[in-house]
Amino acid sequence: MRRLQGRVSQNVHLIECETVPESFIESIIESNPTHILLIDAAMLDQEPGSSKLMGPDQLANRPAVSTHALPLQIFCGYLAETTGAKIVVFGIQPEDASFGEGLTMKLKKTAIELSDLLSRMLP
């Protein structure tokens, strides 16, 4: 996320929510988004660092790895209802889902690639 600062349009509202996206609901709503992209760890049954773009409805079929107090599917549903925004989740298969673990090298590589891709798509 930090890699995107200053590399995307000022119309793109970047928020690093970490483990508490629900704490940013008001800020998200106030930004009046038309589209919302959430990036989070997801059990994809793939190699670590693999990724998948999913609609919020697809989250119900995935085991949770998150420590979010509010399940991501409910969070997305609330945001869709209150903002009318189109919402997608970019899930990344973690290598280690243990609480408090940082990004592994494979996930850092995926994060860099995703940042570079988004900076090209959201100039």
Q: What is the pLDDT of residues 17-30, one digit of tens each?
A: 877 888 899 999 99
Average pLDDT over residues 112-121: 88
Question: Between vectors from CA 105 to CA 88 and to CA 75, what angle results, nearest 5°?
Answer: 25
Mind listing the domains of the chain with CATH numbers? 2-116 (3.40.50.1450)
Q: What is the mean pLDDT of the chain?
A: 83
Helix boundaries (H) for the chain = 25-30, 72-83, 105-121
pLDDT of the residue at 1: 64
Tokens of 114: 């995703």
Backbone angles phi, psi at 93, to 5 degrees: -70, 120
Average pLDDT over residues 52-79: 76
Is the pLDDT higher at 68 or at 55? 55
pLDDT of the residue at 83: 95
Q: Residue 99's pLDDT band (boundaries 50, 70, 90)?
A: low
Question: 8: which DSSP letter?
Answer: S
Distance between CA 102 and CA 100 in Å, rounded?
A: 6
Average pLDDT over residues 100-107: 73
Distance between CA 3 and CA 76 in Å, rounded?
A: 24
Q: Residue type at 4?
A: L
Average pLDDT over residues 80-92: 92
